[in-house]
Amino acid sequence: KPSHIEHIGIAVKSLDEAIPFYEKVFGLACYAVEEVAEQKVKTAFFKVGQTKIELLESTDPEGPVGKFIEKKGEGVHHIAFAVNDLAQKLTAVQEAGVRVIDKTPRKGAEGLNIGFLHPKSTFGVLTELCEDPSK
């Protein structure tokens, strides 16, 4: 089973506006800003205990976050669970009949190996499984 919630992804229109909000209102420090070109997003990370908040700004209106904001507006975009043996977990969920976006692991932000499950198969919540290859 997952060990913890690795991060919560929140779609925002502007990192420049959202980062100071998290810093000022919650006193959290943004410790990394990273562009994930393949996902057409720029990300900003905050730590809250073992869990992170990942702010997502789209770099392309046709990308996943661009389309999400256009359709639903800003808000919670996905929840990511930390797992071991990601490849095996992705196989197991497919065998259990869950529709996946990634059949096998790929690289995500912060050097993590990731795989997404389709929101139509997970009660409307885009769900990510991630594994830290350094652990």
Residue 101, interface with ligand CMX (CB under 6 A)? yes
Residue 53, interface with ligand CMX (CB under 6 A)? no
Which residue number is nearest to ligand CMX in terms of Cβ? Answer: 64
Is the CB of residue 13 less than 8 Å from the CB of residue 59? no
Among 78, 100, 105, 115, binds ligand CMX (CB under 6 A): 78
Give the tokens for residue 32. 């990394």
Is the CB of residue 12 less than 8 Å from the CB of residue 57? yes
Residue 122, interface with ligand CMX (CB under 6 A)? no
Residue 56, interface with ligand CMX (CB under 6 A)? yes
Task: Using DSSP, state whether 47 is helix, strand or coil.
Answer: strand
Rank residues 41 and 129 by Cβ distance to ligand CMX and give the closer one: 41
Angle at 95 between CA 89 and CA 96, to 5 degrees: 90
Alpha-carbon distance 103 to 81, whole Å?
Answer: 16
| Residue ranges that bind ligand CMX, judged by CB under 6 A | 9, 36, 39, 41, 43, 54, 56, 64-65, 67-68, 71, 77-78, 101, 108-109, 116, 118-119, 124, 126
